[in-house]
Amino acid sequence: GNSVTQMEGPVTLSEEAFLTINCTYTATGYPSLFWYVQYPGEGLQLLLKATKADDKGSNKGFEATYRKETTSFHLEKGSVQVSDSAVYFCALSTYGGSQGNLIFGKGTKLSVKP
Amino acid sequence: EADIYQTPRYLVIGTGKKITLECSQTMGHDKMYWYQQDPGMELHLIHYSYGVNSTEKGDLSSESTVSRIRTEHFPLTLESARPSHTSQYLCASKGQGSLTEAFFGQGTRLTVV
């Protein structure tokens, strides 16, 4: 079945450090891939997405590239800020399948220290 | 701004009470979802719907029930609340196809005492 695996946290970085959060997926067909962010006390909001192989999604300095050959969609940011402290979820969406065609990873908590 | 709303934001209720968590969206989305989020942050799908009169159970067994009488409305009901139901509940909706993203409400923090 379809699944998403992302690196476990928590991840603690100093301000201006480089961030990578790994995400790999298993899916039949050609899924779309997403990164969502959840700030404390809030729901999830879309951070970026990619809908086909080699697409790069980007937003707010974050980037992720859809790599079909390695079934990966790693999230990166060159210089994190304290305001980036949040929980990050990798997700995929497919045609067909179970669970409403939407699968999330377990989430990675990021804390950025000044 | 996502047009999906959950009420209440916070609810403290006694054991045995019946509660309904409301979720409404104005985007005309057919797909809607309820997730339970544990303190470790993982999302657990408890119910979803593909459209009016369609409801399915998710991968986490739940004593709650849902209904989908109108496209925009997807309420979740607990007939008899217990302390084990204490959690964060998130509602989401999604358009058709795999290319579209899901939109989330701000969540309901439920505490059963």
- In the DSSP assignment, the letter for residue B61 is -
Q: How would residue A97 be classed by pLDDT, with cut points 50, 70 and 90?
A: low
For A24, the token pair is: 């790999």
Residue with the larger pLDDT of the pair A31 and A112: A112
Per-residue pLDDT of B33-55, as tens digits, reads: 999 998 879 999 999 999 999 99
Q: Give the burial string for A11-47 (b: 16+ CB within 10 Å, else e).
A: bebeeeeebebbbbbebeeebbbbbbbbeeeebbbbb
- Does B98 have pLDDT greater than 80? no
Q: How many CB pairs under 8 A join A and B?
A: 70
Using CB atoms, which residue from A51, A93, A99 is nearest to B58?
A99
CA distance B68 to B70: 6
Using CB atoms, which residue from A45, A101, A109 is nearest to B41?
A109
List the single residue in B with minimal CA-CA distance to A10. B40
- The mean pLDDT value for A1-28 works out to 94
Best mutation target among B43, B47, B59 (most A Cβ atoms within 10 Å) is B43
- Does A86 have pLDDT greater than 90? yes
With a CB-CB cutoff of 8 Å, which residues 56-95 of chain A face chain B? 87, 89, 91, 93-95
Note whether B96 contacts A: Cβ–Cβ < 8 A: no
Report residue B43: phi and psi, to 5°: -90, 130
